[in-house]
Amino acid sequence: MSNRMWGGRFGGGPDDIMEEINASIGFDQRLFAQDIRGSLAHAEMLVKQGIISPQDGASISQGLHQIEAEINTGAFNFSRALEDIHMNIEARLAEIIGDAAGRLHTARSRNDQVATDFRLYVRDALEHIGTQIHTLMGVLTAKADAHADTIMPGFTHLQPAQPVTFGHHLLAYVEMLSRDAGRFHDARKRMNESPLGAAALAGTGFPIDRHMTAAALGFDAPMGNSMDAVSARDFALEALSAAAICATHMSRLAEEIVIFSGPAYGFFNLPDAYSTGSSIMPQKRNPDAAELIRAKTGRIIGALGGLMIVMKGLPLAYSKDMQEDKEGVFNALDSVSLCLAAMSGMMEALSINKDTMHAAAGSGYSTATDLADWLVREAGLPFRQAHHVTGQLVALAEAKACALDALSLADMQEVEAAITDNVFSVLSVENSVASRSAFGGTAPDGVRQRVAHWQNWLKENG
């Protein structure tokens, strides 16, 4: 078969193709810090157990620290021919300390090594993302406090439904993010067991101390089954699931920024730092940051689906398929971190057009539900009858091209004689939001109480 069919970079034939498909150093080199941490812990344990000499252990430790410094300064030469980060580090260690480097891999396999590195990496990422979620919650809580009594329309089906406060609207996202924080915290807790020492799949005959290496790496315990230890990737799936849900929440908020910053609504003024102009239309201010958050959510959800598909048919224990576990996870966790940073900055800088929001809150007869409730509470009508009467009054207001509170008392009494002038006390948007005082409602006092709750929560969980 002619090599021409492979084209370009594969001109050398099947050997080149095998190197290309087999090598992971292009993406797994970012595991270098975790790989070195795991190797240092492993070497220290081997010395303590008398499996390697203290002299070899000291040489290994010195060499690994030198390699870490070389990578951090950009002096390290990563080789595709050595396939992955583990072999790249091991080869360089041999160049530095000689034969002693070969003793480091005693009582372990690349299978438990990569599983350990990957867990350490995901654990580190989850801790960072958790901090970012708290930051965004703080930004939204502070803005909710400032807008506890700023009135805006609440929507169902993207149609004006009932007046709410902007602070209440923002706190809905704080509630979502708090659950996201809980999911990342739970995922971190559940994954915090060490695969190191499981070796290829069956464990090892060397007298290792897996509890020692687990403790050294900050794990709660070693994993209890060697086959599970090398082949489990549910920790990555759980991390991706939490990331996908969190990204979905941010995408919903991003969508609202896109919609409500447009001239049709005009509720928000986009900060210059998070918007762009048009190459041809000088009047445009495009919500690019919000749109990219919305788009990256698809990438994150896709990573979850991709890894599930990789794992769904794998028998125990390790298979090379698992090399495909990392790129999607790296990209998804990078993406959710970037989205959290962008959303925090954007929401902190976002300015609000209070008057525009207030005017919109009264449109579409948004206090009709308050009128129906008044008819039940004050006039004694059954709710279904009150609903019907309110519908007639809305139709009358539409016919007169006026708001509900612009109808005269006489007009209302022609529809329902039990109505009194007290009805006007519930027809303003201010009175409407103030009346929603049940726990979890939009009343400004309730919003401020919930703001205080989240401020305390952030202090306690910061």
Residues 6+ apart with CB under 8 A from 322: 114, 231, 233, 310, 311, 314
Which residue of the set 79, 278, 408, 437 is catalytic? 278
Q: Please count the helices (runs of H) and the strands (runs of E) in the chain.
A: 18, 6
Active-site annotation holds for 147? no
Backbone angles phi, psi at 159, to 5 degrees: -110, 140
Strand bridging mode 193-194 / 221-222: parallel
Q: Please give the C-alpha separations between residue 115 and each of 16, 34, 101, 187, 323, in angstroms, as whole numbers.
A: 27, 11, 21, 16, 11
Q: In terms of Cα–Cα distance, which of 391, 116, 356 is closest to 226?
A: 116
Residues 6+ apart with CB under 8 A from 297: 244, 247, 248, 250, 251, 339
Active-site annotation holds for 387? no
**Do 93 and 71 form a contact (C-beta atoms < 8 A)?**
no
Measured between alpha carbons, how far is 411 from 407 in angstroms, rounded to an integer? Answer: 6
Q: In terms of Cα–Cα distance, which of 425, 395, 428, 430 is closest to 411?
A: 395
Task: Count Cα neighbours of 105 within 13 Å in the Cβ-side half-sphere.
Answer: 16
Backbone angles phi, psi at 313, to 5 degrees: -115, 15
Burial category of 288 from C-beta neighbours within 10 Å (exposed 0-12, middle 13-18, buried 19 and up): middle
**Do 373 and 414 form a contact (C-beta atoms < 8 A)?**
no
Which residue of the set 2, 157, 279, 351 is catalytic? 157
DSSP state for residue 23 in the 8-state scheme: -
Q: In terms of Cα–Cα distance, which of 402, 401, 407 is closest to 389?
A: 407
Q: What does 436-447 look like in DSSP terms, one character per residue?
A: --STTS--HHHH
Strand bridging mode 221-222 / 268-269: unpaired
Residues designated as active site: 157, 278
